[in-house]
Structure 1
Amino acid sequence: MTTPPARPVGGTVRAFGGATMGTTWSVKAVLPATTDLLALEAMVQRALDTVVAEMSPWEPLSDLSRYNRAAPGTWTQLPAAMAAVLRRAIEVAERSHGAFDPTLGALTELWGFGPRPFSGAPPPAGDIMPLRDAMGWTRLTLDGDALLQPGGVRLDLNGIAKGFGVDQAATALDRAGVKSYLVEVGGELRGVGAKPDGQPWWVELERPPPKGLAANDAEKTVVALHDLSVATSGDYRRFFDHDGRRYAHTLDPATGAPTTHATVSVTVLAKDCMSADAWATALTVMSPDAALAFAAEHDLAALIVSGRSDGLEERLSPALRAMLD
């Protein structure tokens, strides 16, 4: 990827990190030697802890869990940040014609990808249909930051919250006066500024492991994150195997079950990581051809990886090809 030269900046690259959302986070930042790394690390950790406290289904006292337990017909006042995330989720749901849906909480738990204990076997079809019929992003009504519980709706923001966490970590660094950094949460990234030698933050786009498929010898795709974010959704990240079949964590809202098409992973680049995360989730629900066509139509910079008998096939959307030229 070609990139304009950047001015060298003062300081050295220093690294720190921690744990969040069942994974890890890390930051590489250009900082003066006098910077208090522990204080900066604590600021980022607090920002990420707030996202968990508001939007984690694994936290019984989170605002998301509180809404999911709310009685039908009642309103739940959401924190401003969570309401903003939900508004973005609804927007992506509408534009993707429901491929992205933030109301899959009950189905996510039914399939063993939530906080409840799981039997290790696919649920009976008779258990899926009632939950599928009760969900749906069109049932969500936001009035300011208050959200109506129509009855039976359980939010699941896992397809967008991690990306938002990256954005919040970046905001914490911005407020601390950090001008150049690469922040990462569970493989999702945002890069700002340049390194001391003037080079941008180069990152390799994530590719699925070749397990079960022939190795892919295609050239690696490397991009420079100039005030840019990247997120990947892949069926190899969370799954379970049963009777010789793999069930991935990506659920198709139309069926209430894991997707069955050939899409293995989708990586999306966007200005903010929340959007990149949500669009990567939405495109993963689609078939490879549909995802590529949708990305082209909506000017999304996307890398779509699908499986075939002889290995992996990687296809770039026009917007991503333009970025790499």
Structure 2
Amino acid sequence: MVDAIPAGTPSAASPSTDEREAEVLSGLTKLALEMARTFQARGLAALAAGDLDRAGKAETRFSTLFLAIRRAVALKLRRRREQAAASPAADEAPMLSELMELAEELARGFHAQALAALAADDLDRAGEAETRFSSLFLGIRRAIALKARLRQQREQAQREAELRRKARQDETDGRRHAVAQGVAAAIAAVPDPEAREQLTAELREKLTEDERIDVDLADTALPIEALIASLCRALGLPPPGTPPAGGPAAGGPAAAAKSGADDPGAGPKGERRMHSPAAGESSTGTGSLSRHRPGTTGRPAAPARPPRPHPILLRPRGPP
């Protein structure tokens, strides 16, 4: 007993099944073409011998095979269109061309038989030959239309491939230009003109001759900033935006600590030490300029405010 496939199991046979079906279809088409060649040769031999009945039977088999091959090619064309595949296989258009040539040769033979029957005033024989001729003619017309569809699909696939190639090239050029600008900004920060010139030459060489940069630029998952930083490291440069060697010393906490250490009035960790008042100075002023000492500024000292009583003391007392 065959076990049922679990509902949650994905079908792993889809790609392989499609490939297998395509192989079977191609194989049967080739066999049909080989058989069509044989029936066409028998039909021509019968026409040469004047055996219209035998030639008609051969033509019927040939036309049936011709129709089967056309439908197989049309099916493969439709499957490619649904799967957005590339251009058709190279052996399909030549196959149709060969069948058209075989059908044309056979049609010419039936055409000659029809004319001969008409000349002999044998309308039945001429009608049978015309029926075979028209069947072959119809097959050739449909094969021509199918070849046109194959050509259209192939040209469309080529246009789409060219558009994709151009889009990839434009994207690569744009990213290359952005990386070059970012690295050039880092090179411009180098103070030595000779060093800048040497770094510019090295950058140009990497951008034009190193194939790995193209691989990196084609990877859209890698940010531009990462590419710029990688090239800067390869050139021995800090990436743009990196602080200088001194870091945040200018104006930063380290600078404040250093200036505090140089200042004799500064205490540990850059804190300002309190100045001890000298004799005759208050703890908040500097000698005669203190506004807390009366008579030093020419203005009388403000009278001291009496202390405010506590709110509890303002409450009236109750009976003892």
Q: Which TM-score bucket, shorter chain as reference?
A: under 0.3
* RCO higher in structure (CA 8 A, sep ≥6): 1
Bigger proportion of residues as helix = 2
Bigger proportion of residues as strand = 1
Indicate the structure (1 or 2) with the bigger Cα radius of gyration.
Answer: 2
Give TM-score, length-normalised by structure 2.
0.19
